[in-house]
Amino acid sequence: MRHGIGFWLQLGFTLLVSAFLMVPIGMSILAGFTENYFRGPSSGLTTRWIVEVWERYGDNIFLSLGIAASCLVVTILIGVPAAYVLAKRQSRLSRMFEELIILPVAIPGLATALALVMLYGTFGGFRSSWTFVLVGHVLYTLPFMVRSVLAVLSSIDLRTLEEGAASLGAGFWTRFWTIVLPNAGSGILAGSLMVTTLSIGEFNLTLLLTTPFTQTIPVGLAVAYTNARLELGSAYTVLFFAMIIPLLVAMQIWGNPSRTSTKRKRRALEKVVSP
């Protein structure tokens, strides 16, 4: 294959951009395994930083996983039924609801967090528990669950399926359990991957909602970057990558719930986290 100069210029540029994105990732992984980063890898490779991170910040990791799992359960419980209603009744009000629940993603997380702290900050037991963080995460991830389920439900002929079932005598709940939920499966899977990934990485909203005893991974990372040595912060980042990258890969594989609604699925993919 022959290529013009334009091809090579664009290839060079794209490789530069890729290097810009990848080199710091590689460096932080290296730093996480280096005895003394200032002296470089020649000072020896070690796993002691990883071990130290586990001892110091292990609690954060379990808390984050717990919050992500709870967030997933809540968004499925309240988001999937909501998406079904939105798919069945397309009125001005239901569109308004669809637009409203996106607002916690559209406006900066700091504003939502501040609003929550101002209103519920005085409820001591609630404020200091991990459920306060969970509330923020549910607000932030709910639209992603609703949208990916709604995308799948809008791409199939739900009305015909339900009418067929109803004519055979299936009641509302039978149809919901045996027709709606199985058909929404791929959307629930895509939404779940999204919700979990976003919850584990959320920082903007989370920082103000946490207490020193309810620190999640990203908050712990921020603390480690500012207070601990670079090697330790990097090792913590390596652990974080080990958790988040498999989720990102899974999202690329199963994150496109339906072929027919390319637009919605792209939308879902584009809108990840506000860093």
Partner 1 sequence: MTSIAAVVERAPVSPGADPRARENVLLLLLITPAIVVFSAFWLLPIARLVALGASGEAGIETYLSVLTNGRYASSLLQTLALSGLVTLTTLAIAVISGLFLVRQDFFGRSALVAVMTLPLAFPGVVIGLMVIMLGGRQGIVGDVSVALFGVKTVFAYNMVGLFVGYVYFSIPRVILTVMAAAEKLDIQLEEAARSLGATPPMVFRDVILPGLQPALISSGAICFATSMGAFGTAFTLNAGASVLPMLIYTEFTLNANIAVAAALSVVLGLITWAVLALARSFAGSGVSAAG
For partner 1, the closer of residues 186 and 237 by Cβ is: 237
Kindly state the smallest distance separating residue 54's Cβ from partner 1, in Å: 18
Residue found by looking up tokens 């929550």 in the block: 116
Q: Which is nearer to partner 1, 156 or 203 (CB)?
A: 203
Q: Which is nearer to partner 1, 178 or 252 (CB)?
A: 252
Pairwise CA distance, residues 208 & 190, whole Å:
29
Nearest Cα to Cα of residue 98 among 109, 110, 84, 108? 84
Q: Taking the complex as a whole, how short is the minimal distance between the CB of residue 159 and partner 1, in angstroms?
A: 12
To partner 1, the closest distance from the beta carbon of 198 in angstroms equals: 7
Q: For the stretch 19-56, what's the b/e string if a residue is b when 16 or more beta carbons lie within 10 angstroms of its beta carbon?
A: eeeeeeeeebbebbbbeebeeeeeeeeeeebbeebeee
Which CB sits closer to partner 1, 51 or 96?
Answer: 96
Degrees to nearest 5, angle at CA 85 with 83 and 90: 100
* CA 196 – CA 141 distance, rounded (Å): 9
Q: How far is the CB of 13 from partner 1 (least distance, A)?
A: 6
Closest distance of CB 48 from partner 1, Å: 19
Q: Closest separation between CB of residue 275 and partner 1, Å? A: 3
**Chain centroid to CA 262:** 20
Nearer to partner 1, 11 or 51 (CB): 11
Tell me the C-alpha distance between 31 and 238, whole Å: 9
Closest to partner 1 by CB, 12 vs 66, is: 12
Strands of 39-179, DSSP E = none
Distance CA 190, CA 149 (A): 8
Give the phi and the psi of residue 45 in degrees, each rounded to 5.
-100, 145
Closest distance between partner 1 and the C-beta of residue 50, in Å? 16
Nearer to partner 1, 4 or 124 (CB): 4
